[in-house]
Every structure is written in structure tokens, then in C-alpha cells.
Chains A and B, each alone.
Chain A
Amino acid sequence: MITIEGLRVAYGRTIALDSVTADIAPGVSGLFGPNGSGKSTLLRVLAGLLRPSTGTIRIAGEVVDMKSEQLRGRIGYAGHRSGLYGRLTVMENLELFARLYGTGRGRVRDMIDQLDLRDRARTPAVELSAGYQRRAAVARALLHDPDLLLLDEPYANLDDEAAEAVSQAVMTWRRAGAVAVIATHGAKKVKRYADSGLILQRGRLIRHGTYEASGFTP
């Protein structure tokens, strides 16, 4: 469970998030909203990569604090950019992060298979197409089987087949007690397996709840 209380993020005079309060239950939540509505900012705050101006976030009752190694190790985050080292191959990137998270090499092969990256495993990340970079980024985020998965536009630049691989990987990862928040414009893709949704507009949370209860049509 993620508890967000009175969250406000300001960049100078620009208010990116304002008075966001929500409880995000275990399961997969879609995060929707137009460009500039604060989706990426909210994910970065949830990951602890950005400090809010005011407000708090609790993950399973624990206040998000980047100093906590244990908490960091429970978060899987894939942002707008790939988060990979361009000069390293996909395999080398995943092996590096597997080592940093103390995950076995078997898990690297699993993720490469799940995200259908086999024929690009030996390709330097910088030479990958945008779609393959997205898939590799999702693989990296899922590598250590996190309790909290935060994906920012995981379907960007993906064809239908690749998008399906991403959805399948998230569904395979899904388990009791774990929380995923997936920010996307491709609401239909997420709706297939999401339990709830949040809609942001101009930094404010305008709708939040389960798909049935919230009543919004992505």
C-alpha cells in the first residue's frame, strides 16, 4: 500500500503537483493525464528521486527516504529515458544491475526472454531502437523483482507485439502485496490488467479508484 498525503511539488513558480492525496492499494494502477499533468513527477517522487516541497509518501507504512538502502532495493523504476549505459550491451547492462541488486544471472536470462530481447542482447544500448530501449528499461526495472514497480510510458515507441511483451512481463511480475504504478497515454493497454487508475490534470488528482468505481473511460 502506498499512502500519499498532501503532496506538492514546485519547480520555482511552476506547480507540478498540488495537494495530491491518495491511497494506492496493492495491484496495478494506471496513471493517466495529458502531457504536463504531473505523471512523471509523481513517479519520480514515489521512487524517492525527487523530494516533494510538502507532503509525505509512505510505502507499506515507511516514509520514502532515499537514505534507506532497503527501501531503494524494493523499488523498480523505469523513467522516460532508458536508464541504461549506452556503451554496454543489453546483457552487460542487465548483468551489472543484477550484480548491484544481488540477483542471479538466471534472472537476467529470464528478463531477456520475457521482454523478447534475445536477438538484441549483445547490442550496445546506444544502438538499440527506441522500442528496444524501452523494453530493456522495463527489463532492468523488473530485474530484482521489486515490491514497488514504477513505469513511465512503458509503451512509448512500441509496436503491438512489443507492447504485449511488456504487458505480459508486468502480469508475470504481479503478485500479492506488490504495487505497480504505470504512467501511460496508452490507457487501453493498461486497462486490460490494471486494478485501479489515477487521473492527474494540471498537477491535481481529479479521479482515483478502481476501474469500476472510478467510472472513467480511458
Chain B
Amino acid sequence: MSAAGFAGKTRALIAKDLRVELRGRDTLPPMVAFAFTVALLLAFAAPAPPRLQEPVSLPVGTVPFIDVAAAFLWITVLFAGLIGFARTFEVEEADGAIDSLLLVPLDRSGLFLAKAAANATFVVVVEAILLPAFALLFHFDLGLDWLNLILVTLLVDIGFVAIGTLFASVAAQTRSRELILPILALPALVPLFIAAFELTADLLGGGGLQAVASRGWFGILLAFDVIFTVAAALAFEFVIDA
């Protein structure tokens, strides 16, 4: 099949998933509701945060509040994402459309890309709501380094969605997919989210991308994205045809 044919079919599948979601609203609203509720709970649970602009001298052994807030942000994204990923193949399973889809003359990587792109859209929408909400609740100043923050967020999303989509396809073949997905995905996502915590905390702390990159987490993030996206796309074929 030509590259144009592959791209056209993949686009058609992405459009189908987004159209189904627009009509059904089965995935995005629960993700957003979960994320917003958790953000609100964390904001009330956390001690009153110092404003980032103010110089803070911390006693030895104390974690800067911005580190904790960055971790809160990504953990919220992580679990909201898993809620959405668990539903990745529900639309296909509902009326047996998965059989129709598996017979389509399209390389399995096209199916993977389409599912991953739809999941990425949902995660980005959640983040677009969550980031300003966190900024408001935890007194982040997104204006400090927002372009780099978006870059890091998108890079985290690539690895997150690749792993999430792959394990969603595994979980879809089990009866308790909502339970299986986090059990499978969370261990694989640990390095990605540690990098996300570190990079986000550094950026929000005013580190700048160069200083942040010099710590090595940026390289780990890039390596994770490349390795796991390729591995997930290749493994997907074996999972979906199992």
C-alpha cells in the first residue's frame, strides 16, 4: 500500500474515533471530571503554597513545594489518562466492529497510530484544562517558561499514549480491562513519569530548558519516546492478532 493510502486510511480511523467520542461523550468527560476532582482535592489537602516568585529558603531535607505540585500534576494526568485508555477498544468491541476492522487491508501499525492519535487528543484536552487549573490552584506561573513546558508535556504524552494504547489492546482481550490496564501499564510508565516530574519541576522553578536538559532527564524522555513508541507499534500487531 502506498504511503498516501496508509495515511488516508489512518486519518479516516482517527476521524471515526473522534466523531464517535463527540457523539457519545463516553471517554473525555469522565477523564476531565476525574482530573479536575483530584486537582481540587489535592489543592485542599496540600499546605498553602508559597508563590514561586518569592525566594524560598528551605530547611535541609525539605522538598520544594513546586516539586510536589509537579508530581501532583503528572499523577493526575497519569490516572486520568488510564481511565481514557481503558475505553480505547470499547467502541470496537461493542457491536463486533473489531472483526470488521481486523479484516481491513491496512497495516496494523495504522490501527495503532489511529488509536494512539485519538488517545493523544483526549490526553491533550485533559492537560489543556488541567494545566491552567493547577496554575490557579497551586499558584504556578505558566508565563515563566510555557513554551518549554508545552514541549515537555507533548514529549511525555508521546510515550504515555504509546504505552497506554499498547496495554489497552492487551487489556481489551481480558474481562477486567479496567483492573488489568494499570497493572500492566504503570510499571512501564514509571521512568517516563519520573522524567516528567523532574522536568516540570525544573521548568516551573525557572530552570530553563538548557539547564533542565543538562540534568539528563530530557534525554531519558526522548529515549523513552523513541524506544517505546517503536516497540509498542511493533508489539501491537502481535497483541491485536492474538
Interface residues of A (CB under 8 A from B): 44, 47-49, 66-67, 69-70, 72-73, 75, 77, 79-88, 92, 96-97, 99-102, 124-126, 133, 140
Contacts and interface: CB of A to CB of B under 8 A. Distances in A.
Contacts of B95: 81-86, 125-126, 133
B8 A47 contact: no
A88 B19 contact: yes
28 contacts: A44-B99, A47-B99, A48-B103, A49-B99, A69-B107, A73-B104, A77-B103, A82-B96, A82-B97, A83-B96, A83-B100, A84-B100, A85-B20, A85-B91, A85-B94, A86-B94, A86-B95, A87-B23, A88-B16, A88-B19, A99-B8, A99-B9, A99-B12, A100-B9, A100-B13, A100-B105, A101-B105, A102-B5
Given A49-B102, A75-B103, A100 B94 contact: no
A100 B106 contact: yes
A130 to B, nearest CB: 11
B188 to A, nearest CB: 26
Contacts of A124: 23
Contact of B1 (A69, A96, A140): A69
B54 interface: no
**Closest 10 interchain pairs by CB?**
A81-B96, A73-B105, A83-B100, A69-B105, A87-B23, A100-B104, A87-B20, A99-B12, A82-B95, A83-B96
Given A101-B104, A101-B105, A85 B16 contact: yes
Contacts of B94: 85-86
B24 interface: yes
A81 B98 CA distance: 10
User: B-side binding surface: helix, strand, loop or mixed?
Assistant: helix
B96 A87 contact: no
Contacts of A70: 105
A92 B104 CA distance: 16
B122 to A, nearest CB: 16
A133 B94 CA distance: 13
Given A66-B241, A69-B1, A84 B97 contact: yes
Contacts of A125: 95
Nearest to A97: B100
A207 B1 CA distance: 41
Contact of A88 (B20, B103, B105): B20
A133 B20 CA distance: 18
A96 B12 contact: yes
Contact of B96 (A79, A92, A100): A79
A140 B100 CA distance: 9
Interface in B67-108: 91, 94-97, 99-100, 102-107
B161 to A, nearest CB: 22
A100 B23 CA distance: 21
Contacts of A133: 95
A87 B19 contact: yes
Given A44-B99, A69-B107, 10 more contacts: A73-B104, A83-B99, A84-B95, A84-B100, A85-B20, A85-B91, A85-B94, A87-B19, A97-B104, A140-B100
Given A66-B241, A85-B16, A88-B16, A72 B96 contact: no
A118 B186 CA distance: 48
A85 B99 CA distance: 12
A72 B100 CA distance: 10
Nearest to B104: A100
A135 B106 CA distance: 25
Contacts of B237: 67
